[in-house]
């Protein structure tokens, strides 16, 4: 991932086009080989039956996974991976389950670990004081799956490079 091409990560706007807002999300999308994509798709396929059982819904991969690198200072503010407005693109509206695969993290060999960059889940009650947060520190090889409408964020990376893969699953079409 460190030697591959990359572009600035954006978010899909309401019109379906990618937007870049460095106050909202700062990360790089990494271009990897088709073999690397296929290996991650294989991992997802292996875990799919367990994910379907856990979430109690049939699932399929929506589109190619994204490979991400967060550098020192990079982050993603609290957001959900799905929306249900009229202008929301189908690829976003249909997201049922989000998957994050950590490629490195705490406990990684020296030079490959990073600090910060936690995957933070947010749940809030009616009052701001009721807000709950759960931070997940990355560990190489860990797969975290959650409902796409769950509010989550990536806290700022304090040092090193955080490498991960994100993918979205939907109910089978047709």
Q: Where are the domains of the chain?
A: 6-170
pTM for the complete prediction?
0.86
Q: Does the CA dihedral 51-53-55-56 come out positive or negative? A: positive
Say if CB 80 and CB 92 are below 8 A apart: no
- Give yes or no for residue 126 having a pLDDT over 60: no
24 band by pLDDT with thresholds 50, 70 and 90: confident
Confidence (pLDDT) at 16: 56
Mean pLDDT to the nearest integer, 10-36: 75
- Give yes or no for residue 171 having a pLDDT over 80: yes
Q: How many CA atoms lie within 13 A of 52 on its CB side?
A: 13
- Give yes or no for residue 157 having a pLDDT over 90: yes
pLDDT tens for 89-110 read 677 778 999 999 999 997 788 8
Q: Is residue 120 classed as helix, strand or coil in its secondary structure?
A: strand
Confidence (pLDDT) at 174: 65
- Give yes or no for residue 14 having a pLDDT over 90: no
- Give yes or no for residue 8 having a pLDDT over 70: no
Confidence (pLDDT) at 83: 73
Name which of 167, 103, 114 is nearest 141 in CA terms. 103
Of 3.90.1150.10, 2.60.120.620, 3.30.1490.190, 3.40.50.300, the CATH number of 6-170 is 2.60.120.620
Cβ within 8 Å of residue 64, ≥6 positions away: 37, 41
End-to-end Cα distance, the chain:
36
Cβ within 8 Å of residue 8, ≥6 positions away: 20, 27, 28, 29
Mean pLDDT of the chain: 85
pLDDT tens for 29-75 read 999 999 999 999 999 999 999 999 999 999 999 888 999 999 999 99
Confidence (pLDDT) at 52: 97
- Give yes or no for residue 130 having a pLDDT over 90: no
């Amino acid at each position: 991932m460190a030697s591959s091409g990359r572009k600035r990560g954006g978010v899909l706007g309401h019109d379906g086009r990618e937007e870049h807002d460095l106050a909202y999300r700062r990360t790089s999308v990494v271009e990897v080989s088709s073999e690397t994509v296929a290996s991650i798709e294989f991992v997802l396929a292996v875990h799919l039956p367990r994910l379907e059982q856990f979430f109690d819904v049939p699932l399929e991969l929506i589109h190619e996974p994204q490979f991400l690198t967060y550098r020192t200072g990079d982050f993603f503010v609290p957001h959900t991976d799905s929306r249900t407005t009229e202008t929301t693109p189908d690829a976003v509206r249909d997201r049922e389950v989000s998957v994050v695969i950590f490629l490195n993290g705490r406990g990684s060999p020296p030079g490959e670990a990073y600090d910060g960059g936690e995957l933070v889940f947010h749940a809030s009650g009616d009052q701001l004081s009721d807000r709950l947060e759960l931070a997940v520190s990355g560990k190489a090889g860990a797969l975290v799956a959650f409902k796409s409408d769950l509010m989550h964020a990536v806290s700022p990376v304090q040092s090193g490079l955080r490498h991960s893969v994100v993918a979205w699953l939907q109910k089978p079409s047709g």
